Amino acid sequence: MPVNLGIRNLDDDVAGRMRIRAAKHGRSTEAEVRVSLAEALVVAPANDFDVRAARIRAMSAGRQQTPAEILQADSRNER
């Protein structure tokens, strides 16, 4: 069931940028807001973390790694 929402106290600059964006896409401002909200609320895939973690591991591949327990001990000794 569709719901009508009113947005109060919307900054003029934000509203203006939304109107410009709507015009670029050939939509009404209201339609652009609907599309923007739907896109903003898309749920990330469950494996999104795994993909990001793999990218981070790839960036540090081949580099010398210091074990966490050594870093923790060094940090405690510096206090």
Confidence band of 79 (pLDDT split at 50, 70, 90)? confident
Q: What is the largest CA-CA distance in the chain?
A: 62
| pLDDT exceeds cutoff 90 at 25 | yes
H or E stretch at 6? none
Q: What percent of the chain has pLDDT over 90?
A: 57
Whether the Cβ atoms of residue 19 and residue 30 lie closer than 8 Å to each other: no
Distance CA 74, CA 9 (A): 51
**Residue among 41, 37, 6 nearest 21 (CA):** 37
pLDDT in tens, 41-77: 887 676 788 888 999 989 988 888 889 999 999 899 8
Residue 44: predicted pLDDT:
67
pLDDT for the residue numbered 72: 94
